[in-house]
Amino acid sequence: MKAETPKSTGSGFGEAIMVPVRLAMGLVDAPLRWVQRKFGLGGMAAFFLLPNMLIFGIFVLLPFFINFAYSMTGGTALFLDDRTFVGTDQYTRLFDCSNYLDPNSCTEDTFWTAVGNTAWFVVLQVTLMILFSLVTALILNRELTARSFWRAVFFFPVLLSPVVVGLIWKWILQRQGLLNFGLYGFGFQPYTWLNDRNWAFAATVGVSIWAHMGFYTLILLAGLQAIPKDLYEAAEMDGTRPARAFWRITLPLLMPNLLVVIVLVLIRAVQIFDEVYVLTGGGPGTSTLYLTQYIYETGFATQLRNPGLAAAASILMGGVLIVLTLIQLGLGRSSEKKGSRK
């Protein structure tokens, strides 16, 4: 938490840290006064914006554009000038399938396996994630003793790193793990869950929900708490049954938040990587190989790496994400407008 201390004032420690910071800021001031005199306020605005724009330009904008160039080249070389132009070969290769529903009929079968897995993952994970976080938010919105404690309970895993999440569950799902221990009590024999294609897939869905559910619960809960209580009181006076109140009041008023959450979950689900990589490593076989891991392994990890192919695949994924993000921004804007109208 060192980052915070320069802002704290009053405490002796804070003051001590402030001395060199003040000195540094003072030293910066003299040349900047010169800049200000020379270039005026507009120049200072540019100066303040410059570091961010520079980093942003080099590490986001530039890669974004040369990604297209990469996807048009072949070979294993890293730098663009060492690579040979191949036109749309990489895309052709990705799309070379006799039957799109059967990955084995494709030249780049792992890509289509990853696409299929990711599609299934997204459908299942998003549905269950929304369901669980909505139910949890509704329950936390009831009149509860120690609500902030319960909210914290569901929020806890959100802060854990994906690697820690992956390792925790890998440990629980292994042969001598907690799950088998629990089932053993009911007379089941130990089972290596992560070696089973279907169970491993289910585990990635479940674990990613476990890890991120609290975050969406929080957003939905904030939306629920923004619904004026007098609406429910009015409904009660009208003799509205609670179930009807949910469908006719809660859900419509929560809809803007819910839509934003759905798109957010979608965006994250499409990119799933970290916790799955640690939990199953994409296995067994390719049963939990998702798109990001495919791109990562195609681009870096394997001996026969093919950065051009990885770039082409990432551009396809990027297209999906951009559409989703635009929808999210549009939804955010329209819900803001609704908010201001209130």
Cβ proximity to other proteins: between 44 and 249 the closer is 44
Would you give the distance in Å from CA 300 to the centre of its chain?
A: 22
Cβ proximity to other proteins: between 7 and 98 the closer is 7
Burial environment of residue 274 by CB neighbours within 10 A (0 to 12, 13 to 18, 19 or more): middle
Q: Which tokens is 106 given?
A: 């494709």
Within 226-255, which residues bind other proteins (CB under 8 A)? 242
Q: Which residue among 134, 168, 200, 262 contacts other proteins (CB under 8 A)?
A: 168
Nearest-approach distance from CB 18 to other proteins, in angstroms? 11
CA distance 83 to 156: 46
Enumerate the β-bridge partners of residue 106.
97
Tell which residue, 314, 294, 279, has the closest CA to residue 103: 294
Within 198-227, which residues bind other proteins (CB under 8 A)? 210, 214-215, 218-219, 221-222
Nearest-approach distance from CB 164 to other proteins, in angstroms? 5
Cβ proximity to other proteins: between 37 and 101 the closer is 37
Interaction between residue 123 and other proteins (CB under 8 A): no
Cβ proximity to other proteins: between 125 and 292 the closer is 292
Nearest-approach distance from CB 308 to other proteins, in angstroms? 8
Q: Which stretch binds other proteins (CB under 8 A): 4-12, 108-116, 119-127, 229-237?
A: 4-12
Nearest-approach distance from CB 253 to other proteins, in angstroms? 16
Q: Which stretch binds other proteins (CB under 8 A): 89-97, 110-118, 174-182, 196-204?
A: 174-182
Helix/strand/coil for 285? coil
Nearest-approach distance from CB 98 to other proteins, in angstroms? 28
Tokens 């970290």 correspond to what residue? 274
In contact, 18 and 8? CB cutoff 8 Å: no
CA distance 342 to 326: 25
CA distance 116 to 291: 9
Q: Which residue among 87, 329, 334, 338 contacts other proteins (CB under 8 A)?
A: 329
Within 276-305, which residues bind other proteins (CB under 8 A)? 277-278, 281, 291-292, 295-296, 299-300
In contact, 294 and 236? CB cutoff 8 Å: no
In contact, 209 and 136? CB cutoff 8 Å: no
In contact, 48 and 37? CB cutoff 8 Å: no
Helix (H) or strand (E) holding 27: helix 12-56
Enumerate the β-bridge partners of residue 73.
85
CA distance 293 to 12: 49
Nearest-approach distance from CB 102 to other proteins, in angstroms? 26
Q: What binding mask, one character per residue, do residues 178-197 give for other proteins by CB under 8 A, x or -?
A: x-xx--x-----x-------
Within 12-31, which residues bind other proteins (CB under 8 A)? 25, 28-29
Q: What binding mask, one character per residue, do residues 56-85 give for other proteins by CB under 8 A, x or -?
A: x-xxxxxxx-xx-xx-------xxx-----
Q: Which stretch binds other proteins (CB under 8 A): 86-94, 107-115, 123-131, 315-323?
A: 315-323
Tell which residue, 171, 158, 190, 167, has the closest CA to residue 268: 158
Cβ proximity to other proteins: between 92 and 225 the closer is 225
Interaction between residue 2 and other proteins (CB under 8 A): yes
Q: Which residues of 217-247 are buried (b: 16+ CB within 10 A; e: fewer)?
A: bbbbbebbeeeeeeebeebeeeeeeeeebee
